[in-house]
Structure 1
Amino acid sequence: MTRHLPARTCRDCGRNRPNHGRGLCRGCWLRQWRATNGRYDVATGTGMGGPGIPKTAADIAARLEDYAFLRALNVRRLDIAARLGVSYRTLNRYDARLRQQQDTA
């Protein structure tokens, strides 16, 4: 069942759209929500969508080794991402690399 919301002028964009809270349309509300809530796919060291720091193969290998060590200690993935300064999604890539290394070994 669809919930019908009254159309009001959005306080951010000024469009006449349904109000989804705080006087904001859905797009503006989602933008504000994403900016204030922690997201797993944003690099913890750069902020919302900030440019990453170029990494060499040695840097990535060192991080991958650190990740494997922390996973062996049963540290939470979110804490590992914050500690290493990478995004949560990057940890998925590290998992894939570790699996690939185990398969080839």
Structure 2
Amino acid sequence: MRKPKAYVEVSCLCCGELGPHNGRGLRKTCYLRHFHAGTLDDFPPLGQTLTCLWRRENYAELRERNIPLREAAERLGVHQRTAERYEARLKAAA
């Protein structure tokens, strides 16, 4: 069975409303509207910045609750090595 896809909620760059991120900093409704209007290029791609940020924040929350590194990685759907990198960032920031 597949895990449900996690999504990041953003303040849309087009309308400013909160909603699930669909790409380029836009909610799904605005993304589709700009896609069909041919104006999607007005909003440059964000890359994987938001998803990665979301994972790091959730990783920090899990570790604060004393969830072991391996289990935190499994819950976020990342490799253990990625979780180790998140851990190193947390220690460096402290």
* TM-score bucket of the superposed structures, by smaller chain: 0.3 to 0.5
Hey, which of these two has a bigger chunk of strand by percent? 2
Q: Which has the larger radius of gyration?
A: 1
TM-score by length of 1: 0.42
Greater relative CO, 1 or 2 (CA 8 Å, sep 6+): 1
